[in-house]
């Protein structure tokens, strides 16, 4: 065996971990969960949870506003998730783990502020939308009609940002340059515009039924 | 009216990759690629919250270091649990063996006693 071969072998050994992770990339969250429920092997939980490490770190950072607390938060969320998954079945993992993380952060904030309550408004308690939309109830033409009416009812800023983003496929940055709004404003106009559109379309659909 | 309007209400089922997210935060993506990531931001509160938080980490290089560290801790914890479970199993097995040996010893002792009594 030449030295070169030995080195490449060693390199492979070091890389083995990442190769191993990539090997599971094509497996869906649900399949991983099913495998865990079948053989109770924690390995599957490890693969599943680490898919969300970066997102969880971001969520904890958003609420706890401190890097050390955020890292600690992710570890706690992992522990809570592992304990819970051993006890009961979870159907839609991505929104479930998001909810676990959010609840954990809110609890931490409550502890931090002593007894002064953190406002638990509707938005903080809402679980992320399951991938089901109003579209299921309507055919495309009727949907388009409803959207055309609803988009006209948005505020001028929301309408402008929503149109540039969804129809002209521009990035936040491009929209900010064109409109003169800040990136944060663009983001919130798009998000609120989308929310308003959803509500308006829902109402139009109800009226038509 | 443009058919892309329908995209507004659909929730993207596409998942965002870590590398794509890091490149977005580092401002390395083209406007088109940025738009692709931002479509996922508007479709998912999870991703949107995460990006907001990650933007607050001043040194973006640290994100990868933190993630690697957290993942390795996670795997350590999970394998610890496994070995603890295996140890418990082994311990239980030991008790089973001890019980079997005790019962066997008792049976043999009784048999021996019966044989002895019969001889008397």
Dump pLDDT digits (tens) for B16-71: 889 999 999 999 999 999 999 999 898 899 999 999 999 999 888 899 999 999 99
Choose the mutation target among B7, B21, B45 for the interface with A, i.e. most A CBs under 10 Å.
B45
In this predicted structure, the answer to whether residue A9 has a pLDDT above a threshold of 90 is: no
Q: ipTM higher than 0.85? A: no
In this predicted structure, the answer to whether residue A62 has a pLDDT above a threshold of 70 is: yes
Q: What is the share, in percent, of chain A residues with pLDDT greater than 90?
A: 53
Q: What is the share, in percent, of chain B residues with pLDDT greater than 90?
A: 54
Specify whether the CB–CB gap between A149 and A160 falls below 8 A: no
Of A50, A67, A70, the CB nearest to B74: A50
pLDDT recorded at residue A84: 93
Specify whether the CB–CB gap between A77 and A101 falls below 8 A: yes
In this predicted structure, the answer to whether residue A120 has a pLDDT above a threshold of 60 is: no
A19 confidence band (pLDDT: 50, 70, 90): very low
Query: In whole numbers, what is the pLDDT of chain B averaged over residues?
Result: 87
Query: In whole numbers, what is the pLDDT of chain A averaged over residues?
Result: 82
Length of chain B: 120
Of A56, A133, A170, the CB nearest to B10: A133
Helix (H, G, I), strand (E, B) or coil at B62: helix
| Residue in A with minimal Cα distance to B19 | A54
pLDDT recorded at residue A4: 57
| Residue in B with minimal Cα distance to A130 | B11
In this predicted structure, the answer to whether residue A154 has a pLDDT above a threshold of 90 is: yes
A91 confidence band (pLDDT: 50, 70, 90): confident
Q: Containing H/E element for B11?
A: none
pLDDT recorded at residue A5: 61
Q: Tokens at residue A134, please?
A: 């109003």
The larger pLDDT score, comparing residue A160 to residue B86, is at A160
The reply to whether residue B57 touches residue A67, judged by beta carbons under 8 angstroms, is: yes
The reply to whether residue A57 touches residue B56, judged by beta carbons under 8 angstroms, is: no
| Residue in B with minimal Cα distance to A202 | B9
For residues A60-71, average pLDDT? 94
Asked if A36 is an interface residue toward chain B (Cβ–Cβ < 8 A), one would say: no
Asked if A204 is an interface residue toward chain B (Cβ–Cβ < 8 A), one would say: no
The reply to whether residue B53 touches residue A147, judged by beta carbons under 8 angstroms, is: no
pLDDT recorded at residue B89: 77
The reply to whether residue A143 touches residue B6, judged by beta carbons under 8 angstroms, is: yes
A65 confidence band (pLDDT: 50, 70, 90): very high
A21 confidence band (pLDDT: 50, 70, 90): low
For residues A8-19, average pLDDT? 51
pLDDT recorded at residue A10: 54
Q: Tokens at residue B11, please?
A: 């929730």
pLDDT recorded at residue A185: 94
Q: Tokens at residue A196, please?
A: 């308003």
Q: How far is CA B64 from the centre of its chain?
A: 18
- The residues near A141 (Cβ < 8 Å, ≥ 6 apart) are none
The larger pLDDT score, comparing residue B100 to residue A204, is at B100
pLDDT recorded at residue A6: 62
The reply to whether residue A98 touches residue B38, judged by beta carbons under 8 angstroms, is: no
- Return the exposure string of A104-118: e unless at least 16 CB atoms fall within 10 Å of the residue's CB, then b: bbbebbeeeeeeeeb
In this predicted structure, the answer to whether residue A124 has a pLDDT above a threshold of 50 is: no
Residues of chain B neighbouring A187 (CB-CB closer than 8 A): 41
In this predicted structure, the answer to whether residue B107 has a pLDDT above a threshold of 90 is: yes
The larger pLDDT score, comparing residue A77 to residue A89, is at A77
pLDDT recorded at residue A206: 81
Residue whose token pair is 């496994």: B82
In this predicted structure, the answer to whether residue A44 has a pLDDT above a threshold of 50 is: yes
């Amino acid at each position: 065996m030449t030295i070169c071969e030995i080195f490449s072998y060693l390199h492979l050994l070091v890389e083995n971990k990442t190769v191993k992770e990539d090997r599971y990339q094509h497996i869906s969250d649900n399949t991983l969960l099913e495998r865990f429920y079948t053989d109770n092997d924690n390995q599957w939980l490890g693969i599943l949870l680490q898919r969300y490490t970066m997102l969880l770190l971001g969520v904890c950072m958003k609420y706890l506003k401190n890097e050390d607390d955020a890292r600690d938060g992710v570890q706690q969320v992992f522990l809570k998730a592992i304990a819970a998954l051993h006890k009961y079945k979870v159907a839609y993992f991505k929104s479930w783990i998001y909810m676990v993380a959010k609840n954990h952060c809110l609890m931490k904030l409550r502890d931090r502020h002593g007894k002064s309550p953190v406002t638990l408004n509707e938005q903080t308690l809402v679980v992320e939308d399951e991938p089901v939309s109003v579209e299921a109830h309507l055919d495309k033409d009727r949907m388009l009609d409803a959207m055309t009416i609803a988009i006209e009812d948005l505020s001028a800023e929301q309408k402008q940002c929503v149109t540039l983003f969804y129809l002209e496929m521009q990035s936040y940055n491009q929209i900010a340059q064109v409109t003169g709004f800040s990136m944060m404003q663009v983001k919130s106009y798009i998000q609120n515009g989308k929310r308003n559109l959803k509500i308006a379309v829902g109402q139009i659909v109800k009226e038509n039924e | 009216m443009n058919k892309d309007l329908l995209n507004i209400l659909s929730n993207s089922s596409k998942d965002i990759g870590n590398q794509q997210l890091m490149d977005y935060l580092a401002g390395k993506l083209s406007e088109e690629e940025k738009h692709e990531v931002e479509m996922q931001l508007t479709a998912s509160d999870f991703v949107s919250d995460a990006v907001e938080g990650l933007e607050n980490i001043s040194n973006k290089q640290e994100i990868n270091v933190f993630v690697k560290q957290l993942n390795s801790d996670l795997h350590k914890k999970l394998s610890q649990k496994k070995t603890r479970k295996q140890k418990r199993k082994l311990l239980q097995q030991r008790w089973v063996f001890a019980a079997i040996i005790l019962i066997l010893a008792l049976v043999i002792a009784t048999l021996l006693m019966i044989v002895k009594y019969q001889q008397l």
